[in-house]
Amino acid sequence: MKQSTVLSLATILFAVAVHCAVAQSEPSKDSSGFTSSVAFGGTSNSQGQIYELSTSVGYEFKRHFAADVGVPFYFIRPSSSTGATSANGVGDPFLRLGLKFPNPTINFESALTGFIPVGDSKKGLGTGRGTFDWTNHFDHPFSGLKPFVDLGIANTIVSTQMFVRPYTTLGFNTHFQGGATYEIWKFFALGGSAYDILPAGQQTVFSRVAHGAASQHGRVFEGNQQTTGSADIAKDNGFSIWLNASPGRVVDLEIGFTRSMHYDLNSVSFMVGLNLNHLYSRHAQ
pLDDT band at 17 (very low <50, low <70, confident <90, very high): very low
Q: Residue 278 has what pLDDT? A: 67
pLDDT for residue 275 is more than 80: yes
pLDDT band at 30 (very low <50, low <70, confident <90, very high): low
pLDDT tens per residue, range 234-248: 999 999 999 999 988
Q: Residue 162 has what pLDDT? A: 85
CA distance 63 to 61: 6
Q: What is the mean pLDDT of residues 71-100?
A: 91
CA distance 135 to 158: 11
pLDDT for residue 10 is more than 50: no
Q: Residue 186 has what pLDDT? A: 86
CATH code for position 213: 2.40.160.40
Q: Please say whether the beta carbons of 108 and 137 come within 8 A.
A: yes
pLDDT tens per residue, range 76-85: 999 877 667 8
Among 137, 134, 208, 113, which Cα is nearest to 169's? 208
CA distance 196 to 242: 18
Q: Please say whether the beta carbons of 166 and 260 come within 8 A.
A: no
Q: Residue 22 has what pLDDT? A: 41
108 or 86, which is more confident: 108
Domain that holds residue 109: 3-284
Q: Residue 24 has what pLDDT? A: 36
Lowest-confidence pick of 19-33, 71-85, 194-208: 19-33
pLDDT tens per residue, range 122-151: 999 999 999 999 999 999 999 899 999 999
Q: Residue 228 has what pLDDT? A: 97
pLDDT band at 283 (very low <50, low <70, confident <90, very high): low
Longest CA–CA span in the chain (Å) reads 58
The mean pLDDT value of the chain amounts to: 88
Percent of the chain, pLDDT > 70?
85
pLDDT for residue 212 is more than 70: yes
Counted domains in the chain: 1
Q: What is the mean pLDDT of residues 7-14?
A: 49
Q: Residue 79 has what pLDDT? A: 85
Amino acid identity of 280? Y
Q: Residue 31 has what pLDDT? A: 65
